Chains A and B, each alone.
Chain A
Amino acid sequence: MKTTLEVKNLHAGIGATKILNGLDLVVNAGEVHAIMGPNGSGKSTLAQVIAGHADYEVLDGSVRFNGEDLLELEPEERAREGVFLGFQYPVEIPGVNNAYLLKAAVNAKRRHLGLDEIDAFEFLKLAREKMATLGMDPIFLNRGVNEGFSGGEKKRNEILQMAMLEPRLAILDETDSGLDIDALKTVAAGINELRDPTRAIVLVTHYQRLLDYVEPDFVHVLSAGKIVRSGDKSLALELEKNGYEWVKEAVNA
């Protein structure tokens, strides 16, 4: 099986604060992994380091993507190679048109792959199709990026970007939080749509709810910057029942 993401002994922090402390994670193509863990344990930090946020300093270890050293690449190069991060807090960018960004993102990737740019007509057709399946009004194309979007609308917009970009590795950081029940179902359907043997998906979540709709192959618990436990989908159910304390205790014991 092809390994998409390989994180080895990753230590990372911000300023003097160490956040990740020797994290290991392997995600193969075709797999869906869920990462759970208490607030502040480092889940978003892991996601941001993989996407290339410059504020986080990698102190030790490695991150490989399809065998390539990911840490060597600029964030935009990672994106074009097929890494997608669905932000826990999607950024509002007033004055930058949502459709413009979407199209620029698609074309950046296409150019990288040596393909022609998508024409305006094709683009609109594709975007409208994807939006329909996500239950998004096409009017959102004309708005500023996430400008004034509700929490749920922002998350859908992230999924729309993912759907348009068809990444090789999608890391969705709490894309399920802030969604109403119906939105959760449509977003889950959007994720399942992308599930295929060539693609790896990492779901960062606090809730079993999402995992009812997108069944993970593996579930990991991240605590204090490390994966402290891994299992199959039943681990998530156990966590839902018993909280994180027993995992932490088991580690400390």
Chain B
Amino acid sequence: MTSTVINQDLFTAAVEGLPPGQLSSHRSDAAKLFSVTGFPTARDEDWKYTRLDGAADLSNDWLASLAQHSTSTEASVMLTDAQLAPTQSINADWIIVHNGIVDAAALGQLKLPTGVNVSLIGEDSEHLALTTDSPMSAFNAALLTDGLRVRVANNVAVKKPLGFLMVDDDRSRVTQIRVVLELGDNAALRVVECALSSGVGPTFTNSVTQLQLAEGSKLDFLRLQNHALDHISTNRFVANIDKDATFTHNNFDFGGDLTRNDIVAIIEGAGASVNLAGLYLASGAQHIDNHTRVEHRVGPAVSHEEYRGILNGKSRCVFNGQAVVFEGADGTDANQANHNLLLSDQAEIDTKPELEIYADDVKCSHGATVGQLDETALFYLRSRGLDTTEARRLLTQAFAANILNLLAIDEAREYVKLQLDERVASLLGDERT
């Protein structure tokens, strides 16, 4: 029988068995919270379409091995060239996190610009609040052993992007990754995160990314998820955005068996601006669920959001876009769009915009579409000699280009485009499954 129940005894034993240190108190606080909720189930409205049975099974096995201290906490195997490809293709200061363990030696070698400080969470979390705002983020904090904390000092604009390469390829581990980014007043940072896994068997990653944007700061965050087709991941991004700060999140999901992203942008200062753009490509039996939530706590502030999905085979995707405009958040301008290209009649998309508006002077709009490739355009291309495969590929790429064009980090554009083109080709090949 499958179930999303985490074995409480194993959980407690595992938490208690982790090596003591600065994280201990964070872990026990979070464990208390998690013990109350457990994993989300289908009864939770937010998790109606996404079941975590597989993740729970893997987690229980892992907790058992942790409880018996039989899990290694060292990144053992070297990364392959294929896994390292993003670091070769995108010019950035790369930090590698292998099976949830930061490559500290390499990090020590990295020459970071003045004003940028990167530390290990295990050694630098005394005065740090670890977000535990959801069952999965509490689960993450309760079992955390490692992670990254990045601080950018006031008025420092970092030129070169920072890169995070997250590779998960250890079948016996469930990884908990936590990244905390703190941008000082008027600081600017660009981050490229590539999340990969290797198809060694089912694996599960539960990641939390906390983003703190102080007044006038600017953060461009690109995440490219290209997990193997047996990988499950739940990823939570929470950004607190202060006055006049700008947050851009570009989210590309190409791989994974089951992927759930929760992207939460909390506008806490007037003049803030939030741009969320995402593209999900699913085929075969893939499942990709994006839940986004923009909280306009004060106004005036702007949020733009566009997510696009391309679905083939028997894949299933979910888009849920919440925009909440709090009382008094006048001058809010929030728009949201979700467009889907459904290439197979067995693929399924559930798309739902949710607007909650408690202020008067607001401009809000949302729209969702689900469609097929334009037959007229297909015929036009074929009438010029292009075969059906190429015509479909061009139209599919054109649909995706709208999101690619929103990519804020130029250094990553070529790599993302290559990955995208490859993924489009493989997805279209899946047509008749």
Contact = CB atoms under 8 A, between A and B. Distances in A.
Interface of A: 51-55, 74-76, 78-80, 85, 87, 90-91, 93-96, 100-101, 104-105, 108-109, 112, 144-145, 161, 165
Interface string B360-402: 0000000000000011110111111111101000110111011
15 contacts: A74-B382, A76-B382, A79-B385, A85-B383, A93-B374, A93-B380, A94-B398, A96-B381, A96-B398, A101-B384, A105-B386, A108-B384, A108-B386, A109-B385, A112-B385
A65 to B, nearest CB: 14
B387 A96 contact: no
B140 to A, nearest CB: 38
Main secondary structure of the interface of B (DSSP, over half): helix
Contacts of A100: 394
A54 to B, nearest CB: 7
A76 B388 contact: yes
B383 A90 contact: no
B397 A95 contact: yes
Given A104-B384, A165-B384, 9 more contacts: A75-B383, A76-B383, A76-B385, A79-B385, A80-B385, A95-B398, A96-B395, A101-B381, A105-B384
A76 B395 contact: no
A47 to B, nearest CB: 10
Contacts of B374: 91, 93
Given A75-B379, A91-B376, A95-B401, A108 B395 contact: no
Nearest to A48: B379
Contacts of A90: 380
A104 B386 contact: yes
A15 to B, nearest CB: 15
B383 A79 contact: yes
B379 A53 contact: yes
Contacts of B387: 74, 76, 108
A93 B382 contact: no
A93 B385 contact: no
Nearest to B394: A96
A197 B402 CA distance: 46
Contacts of B385: 76, 79-80, 104-105, 108-109, 112, 165
Contacts of A112: 385
Contacts of B395: 93, 95-96
B398 A51 contact: no
Contacts of B398: 93-96, 144
Contacts of B399: 95
Contacts of A53: 379
Contacts of A94: 398
A3 B383 CA distance: 22
